[in-house]
């Protein structure tokens, strides 16, 4: 009888420990996903904003239009044109004839990259980026960030 | 048995601690994500303010604002709610050509309201540093003209990005008197949209999606038109300045405040009007001028009035607090000819004053004052002219005149030395020139004729 009671108690304790371990791993995974998303977004958004600030003009989207690709006219011929877009959920920037450079890591799946060109004569875009950790469970956090960048010529 | 109970208790303590720790981790994660979103919203607030500054220094109005995005950024009267975030923009004067902008984003945290503030200083560098003129202005040329048809006479104009907003008085109340002219191609301008406000307009100014109109109808002094779509402007409100029975003559807008002047009246002639909600304007306060307010020009928090008063042809009003405008200086020009136009060149703080013709000696029709210290305007020079001067406009070292002089209604002077202004060039128009605005090295000039708009540039 005592053996049965002990076995039951040990089973309960083991279940508790295993549940705790799962929850711990889940939270750790979510926190890690959030940190990776934040770091990627911070780097990509800062870089995109800086490139827009330094551009001469915005070629695409045209005034008042919305697109999923940003094409900038640059003063320096080697950097002209500069194209920012997403391929397979990764944000890339290609300047002139150079190779495309990834602004986000392969861990992040950028699912939304929207460029809204303002109706003003002064070139300006509103950028919305949304995404999540690649192949992550649906309970993992996603993140959407919006900002505006102005060509400062 | 005791060992088992101890083990379970220890496990419970461990599990509780771990649970608190995990909750904190999740809260930390949420906080981090919210903070990141808030940072970019705050950054966007600064960029939006920068773009508002780029549409015109006067649009970066001091005060507390929300933001509105409908293809362009503009300030709104109410805080902006974006999901859980609230964004507020605070604009304060540092000096007349520099303002501090604070973009403040708040959101509810688990225990308290959290916030992020980003700040920057924006300057009026385009108008201060950059030369406004290029090319050879000794040889001006007409790029294009617009004919509004018979019986229409322009009275005032405002210009933004190649679109000209023209007020007019028509020979009949049934004719249009507010026009939007698309001159983005200066060689072939065309009337994009028009309205009949009836009976006629004396002035126009624009801010954001709205045109503010000074109407000749003493029962509808202020009218507001939505100009979001240039081909389809429409009136959204008409407003009477209570207690005033004279027609509105002049109007100038800054941010969410309108400064309006009327013809001489038994009551006050100058009004500040809150147009934070353009559908329901409301008078903030008024001032007695004692004469016609023929023209108003706003620079920073000062309004410059051209009046018909014999002893104070120009009045400078502090509108930093629009609810309590205060006269800070007045200029008594020689003789009694009315002041018809005022313009301050942002580059050098020169106030250009245009006046009616006087046949008396020492009654200059054009004067230039230094208003770097608006409380103490200092005369730099003046000039006699051969006709009524409706507008004197300064840019770089030049001064452009719009006048009634029948041989050359438009004239250009080198005013580097205001004591000895040098004539450079002139153009003859079919009728007198009443007002002008310079944008991107192009002068847009309102002519009191069917041939209502002249677009002039340098060679």
For residues B8 and B10, give the distance between their C-alpha atoms in angstroms, rounded to a whole number: 5
For residues A136 and A125, give the distance between their C-alpha atoms in angstroms, rounded to a whole number: 30
Residues facing B266 on adjacent strands: none
Average pLDDT, chain B: 90
B77 against B216, higher pLDDT: B216
Q: Is the ipTM of this complex over 0.85?
A: no
Model confidence at B173, pLDDT cuts 50, 70, 90, reads confident
Cβ contacts of A121 on chain B, cutoff 8 Å: 161-162
Q: Does A27 contact B25 at a Cβ distance shorter than 8 Å?
A: yes
Question: What percent of chain B stands above pLDDT 70?
Answer: 99
Q: Which of A28, A118, A145 sits opposite B40 (nearest CB)?
A: A145
Q: Does A148 contact B44 at a Cβ distance shorter than 8 Å?
A: yes
Residues from A in contact with B at Cβ < 8 Å:
6, 9, 13, 16-17, 20, 23-24, 27-28, 30-31, 34-35, 37-38, 41-42, 45, 49, 64, 118-122, 124, 126, 141, 143-150, 152
For residues A113 and A104, give the distance between their C-alpha atoms in angstroms, rounded to a whole number: 12
B32 has a pLDDT exceeding 80: no
For residues B4 and B12, give the distance between their C-alpha atoms in angstroms, rounded to a whole number: 12
Q: Produce one character per residue of B185-221: b if its CB has 16 or more CB atoms within 10 Å, e if not.
A: ebeebebbbbbebbbbbbbbbbbbbbbbbbbbbbebb
Classified as helix, coil or strand, B3 is: helix
For residues B202 and A121, give the distance between their C-alpha atoms in angstroms, rounded to a whole number: 28
Q: Who contacts B331 (Cβ-Cβ below 8 Å, separation ≥6)?
A: B312, B313, B314, B315, B316, B353, B369, B377
Query: What's the number of domains chain A is made of?
Result: 1
pLDDT digits (tens, 9 = 90+) for B294-325: 999 998 889 999 999 999 999 999 998 899 99
Answer whether B295's CB lies under 8 Å from B305's CB.
yes
B307 against B254, higher pLDDT: B307
Least confident of A69-83, B18-32, B225-239: B18-32
Q: Produce one character per residue of B405-439: b if its CB has 16 or more CB atoms within 10 Å, e if not.
A: beebbbbbbbbeebeebeebbbbebebbbbbbbbe
For residues A28 and B222, give the distance between their C-alpha atoms in angstroms, rounded to a whole number: 63
Q: What range does the domain containing A92 cover?
A: 2-150
Residues facing B159 on adjacent strands: B164
B313 against B77, higher pLDDT: B313
Model confidence at B368, pLDDT cuts 50, 70, 90, reads very high
Classified as helix, coil or strand, B29 is: helix
B195 has a pLDDT exceeding 90: yes
For residues B332 and A56, give the distance between their C-alpha atoms in angstroms, rounded to a whole number: 48
Q: Which of B22, B48, B50 sits opposite A23 (nearest CB)?
A: B22
Classified as helix, coil or strand, A38 is: helix
Domain with CATH 2.130.10.10 in chain B: 141-457
Model confidence at B2, pLDDT cuts 50, 70, 90, reads confident
Question: Among A48, A50, A55, which residue's Cα sits nearest to residue A79?
Answer: A55
Reading the block at residue A100, the tokens are 């495309």
pLDDT digits (tens, 9 = 90+) for B369-408: 999 899 999 999 999 999 999 999 999 999 999 999 989 9
Question: Which pLDDT does position B111 carry in this prediction?
Answer: 80
pLDDT digits (tens, 9 = 90+) for B88-100: 999 998 877 889 9
pLDDT digits (tens, 9 = 90+) for B41-55: 999 999 899 888 887
Question: Which pLDDT does position B284 carry in this prediction?
Answer: 93
Residues facing B274 on adjacent strands: B257, B282
Reading the block at residue B212, the tokens are 């503010």
| Mean pLDDT score, B12-38 | 81
Domain B141-457, CATH class in plain words: mainly beta
DSSP 8-class letter at B396: T
Q: Which residues of chain A have pLDDT under 50?
A: none
Question: Which pLDDT does position B389 carry in this prediction?
Answer: 96
Question: Which pLDDT does position B140 carry in this prediction?
Answer: 94
- Provide the sign of the torsion angle of the four alpha carbons B73, B79, B81, B87, taken in this order: positive
Answer whether B40's CB lies under 8 Å from A147's CB.
yes
| Mean pLDDT score, B267-287 | 92
Answer whether B209's CB lies under 8 Å from B256's CB.
no
Residues facing B314 on adjacent strands: B306, B331
Model confidence at B129, pLDDT cuts 50, 70, 90, reads low
Q: Does A120 contact B72 at a Cβ distance shorter than 8 Å?
A: yes
Task: Select the residue from A147, A151, A152 to test the B interface by mutation, using most B Cβ atoms within 10 A.
Answer: A147
In sequence order, what DSSP letters do the residues of B278-322 get, joined into one string? TTS-EEEEEE--SS-EEEEEEETTEEEEEE--SS-SEEEEE-SST
Question: Which pLDDT does position B201 carry in this prediction?
Answer: 94
For residues B374 and B297, give the distance between their C-alpha atoms in angstroms, rounded to a whole number: 13
Cβ contacts of B19 on chain A, cutoff 8 Å: 23
For residues A79 and B360, give the distance between their C-alpha atoms in angstroms, rounded to a whole number: 65
Cβ contacts of A13 on chain B, cutoff 8 Å: 7-8, 11
Q: Which of A31, A124, A146 sits opposite B51 (nearest CB)?
A: A124
């Amino acid at each position: 009888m005592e053996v049965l009671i002990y076995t039951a108690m040990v089973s309960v304790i083991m279940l508790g420990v295993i549940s705790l371990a799962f929850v711990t791993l889940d939270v750790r995974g979510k926190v890690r996903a959030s940190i990776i998303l934040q770091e990627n977004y911070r780097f990509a958004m800062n870089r995109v904003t800086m490139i827009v600030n330094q551009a001469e003009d915005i070629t695409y989207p045209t005034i008042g239009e919305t697109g999923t690709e940003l094409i900038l006219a640059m003063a320096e011929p080697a950097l002209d044109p500069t194209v920012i877009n997403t391929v397979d959920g990764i944000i890339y920037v290609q300047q002139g004839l150079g190779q495309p450079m990834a602004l986000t890591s392969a861990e992040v799946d950028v699912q939304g990259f929207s460029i809204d060109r303002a109706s003003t004569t002064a070139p300006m875009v509103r950028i919305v980026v949304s995404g999540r950790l690649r192949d992550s469970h649906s309970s993992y956090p996603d993140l959407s960030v919006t900002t505006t960048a102005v060509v400062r010529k | 048995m005791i060992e088992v109970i101890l083990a379970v208790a220890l496990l419970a303590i461990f599990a509780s601690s771990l649970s608190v720790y995990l909750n904190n981790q999740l809260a930390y994660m949420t906080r981090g994500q919210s903070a990141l979103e808030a940072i970019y919203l705050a950054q966007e607030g600064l960029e939006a303010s920068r773009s508002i500054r780029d549409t015109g220094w006067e649009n970066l109005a001091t005060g507390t604002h929300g933001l509105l995005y409908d293809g362009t950024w503009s300030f709104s009267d109410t805080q902006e709610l974006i999901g859980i975030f609230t964004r507020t923009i605070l604009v304060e004067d540092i000096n007349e050509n520099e303002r501090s902008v604070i973009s403040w984003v708040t959101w509810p945290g688990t225990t308290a309201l959290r916030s992020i503030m980003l700040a920057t200083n924006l300057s009026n560098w385009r108008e201060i540093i950059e030369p406004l003129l290029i090319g050879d202005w000794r040889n001006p040329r007409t790029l294009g003209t617009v004919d509004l048809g018979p019986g229409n006479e322009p009275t005032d104009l405002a210009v933004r990005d190649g679109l000209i907003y023209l007020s007019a008085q028509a020979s009949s109340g049934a004719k249009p008197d507010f026009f939007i002219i698309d001159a983005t191609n200066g060689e072939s301008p065309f009337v994009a949209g028009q309205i009949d406000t009836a009976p006629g307009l004396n002035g126009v100014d624009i801010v954001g999606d709205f045109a503010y109109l000074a109407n000749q109808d003493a029962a509808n002094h202020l009218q507001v038109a939505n100009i979001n779509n240039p081909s389809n402007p429409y009136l959204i409100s008409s407003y009477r300045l209570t207690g005033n029975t004279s027609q509105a003559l002049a109007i100038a807008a800054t941010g969410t405040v309108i400064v309006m002047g009327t013809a001489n009246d038994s009551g006050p002639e100058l009004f500040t009007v809150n147009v934070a909600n353009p559908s329901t304007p409301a008078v903030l306060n008024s001032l007695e001028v004692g004469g016609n307010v023929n023209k108003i020009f706003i620079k920073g928090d000062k309004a410059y009035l051209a009046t018909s008063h014999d002893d104070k042809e120009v009045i400078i009003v502090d509108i930093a607090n629009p609810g309590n405008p205060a006269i800070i200086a007045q200029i008594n020009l020689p003789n009694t000819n009315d002041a018809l136009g005022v313009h301050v060149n942002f580059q050098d703080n020169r106030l250009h004053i245009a006046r009616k013709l006087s046949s008396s000696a020492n009654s200059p029709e054009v004067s230039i004052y230094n208003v770097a210290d608006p409380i103490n305007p200092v005369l730099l020079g003046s000039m006699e002219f051969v006709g009524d001067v409706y507008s004197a406009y300064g840019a770089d070292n030049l001064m452009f005149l719009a006048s009634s002089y029948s041989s050359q209604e438009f004239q250009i002077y080198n005013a580097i030395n205001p004591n000895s202004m040098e004539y450079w060039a002139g153009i003859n128009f079919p009728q007198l020139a009443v007002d002008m605005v310079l944008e991107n090295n192009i002068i847009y000039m309102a002519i009191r004729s069917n041939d209502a708009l002249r677009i002039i540039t340098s060679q």
